[in-house]
Every structure is written in structure tokens, then in C-alpha cells.
Structure 1
């Protein structure tokens, strides 16, 4: 199935301006119809879902651009794409460790104050 930019924006939950920005940044390359209007496909919707998840995972636009470029080159770039994903995973795990430390600190403080409350 194919979609106009307006239909596609609604389908993927992004603004038309965001889709144009993604195109300008070489993250997505929609087909063009005979009137030179953008035409999006279900495959484009799947790719937008991947981009959105990579962004939510904290990947930079620069790294997503590199990932998109490697993806377009085909299976010979799987090792490089894997390296990008593993690097982002490492950053997320470090962030999780940092958050776990903050949570432990807060839990300790909360317990301290609860203990003080029970002494009253």
C-alpha cells in the first residue's frame, strides 16, 4: 500500500515537518510519483518505527544516519551495524547502572526517614 505524506504522517505518528527533516537528513528516502510527490510504503512505516526506537534508545541522529546508510548498502554492513547497536547498548547499560545507583541512594534515604518516623 502507498500513502501520501499526510496519510503517512498520521500512520506513523510524526508531523509532516519531521518526515521532511528525516528526508533532509537522509534517514528516509520516499519514492516519488509521476507528479513528483512523495509516496510512502509499508516498508517505510517499518523503517520509521525502527528510527523511532533507536531515538528512544538514545541513539544520536548522526549514528542513526550512519545506521541508515549502512542499511542501504546491504548485508555486507551487518558487522558495522551490529557494532553501532552494541555501542548504544553499552551506553544504555551504563545509564541504567547510574540510575540504579541513584535509586539505591533514594531508597536508603527513604528508609532512614521512615526509621526516624517510627521513633516518634
Structure 2
């Protein structure tokens, strides 16, 4: 590790990344967070660099977007292997991109329905009328 890089404790990294120390340790053991091995201080405590934090942020974003731990692990292994693995890394990311685009399309469909329902109830409240389907748990009568 370069001496000029900032050295961060696991607690500092947890605070910056928004995940617990326990979660960082879990992901480290699972082999998904770091492109390289975690440095240790003379006392055996984990020491992270800004590069480590950037890698952690990337992996957390991939995880939050629905990428599975095995796929993140594979991506990490490829990154560790270095040059020559770019085509496989690209393929993994493209496949995941397609999944995320599908999730976004589904979420937009859900949002459209929610916005419709909000508009129906805003109109009902504004007019003082009784909403169609208000006595139905699903609200099936209000022109979903």
C-alpha cells in the first residue's frame, strides 16, 4: 500500500459506506468486496485505502441493484485477475444491466398505477364524494 494514501479503519469505512462493520466483515469473508486483500495494521486491525472504499462502493451499488453475491464474487475474481478479463467483466455487467432495465420497467409500471390511485383519491377528497371501491379492500371499483 502506498504510504501517501489515507488509511481508514473499518469503522470509518462503515460510516462512509453506510453499512455496518459486521456487513463489511461478512462481505470480505464472502470474497465480494475487495479487489485485493485487506491490509492489516501492526496490531492486526483492518486498514483500508480510498481505493478500497471506491471498490466497496461499487460492490454495494451492484448489490443494491440486485446483483447476486456469487456474480459479484465472480466479478471480483475477474478484477483481481486483471488484464485480459475485461470481456468477461463486460459480459457480466451487460447481463446485469438488462436485468436492471427490466426491474426499472416494472417499477415504472408500478409507479404509474400508484400515481393513478393517488390522483383518484385526491379527486375524491377534493370533491367530497365517496370513492368507488372504498369499501373494497382492493379498491377494485375505482377504475384501476
TM-score by length of 1: 0.80
Equivalent residue for 1:83?
A: 91
Specify which structure has the higher proportion of helix: 1
Q: Hey, what's the Cα distance between the residues in 2 that align with 1:17 and 1:108?
A: 41
The count of aligned residue pairs is 118
1:7 to 7, 12, 31: 12
Q: Is the alpha carbon distance of 1:4 and 1:108 closer, same or farther for their aligned partners in structure 2, counting shifts above 3 Å? A: closer
When the two chains are superposed, the root-mean-square deviation of aligned CA atoms in Å is 2.5
For residues 63 and 26 of structure 1, what CA distance do their matches in structure 2 show? 11
Unaligned 5+ runs, structure 2: 1-5, 130-144
The residue that corresponds to 1:56 in the other structure is 64
Q: Deviations over 1:81-103 (max 9, x none)?
A: 10011001111122233334445
The structure with the larger Rg is: 2
Which protein has greater RCO, CA pairs closer than 8 Å, 6+ apart? 1
- Residues 1:21 and 2:26 aligned together: yes
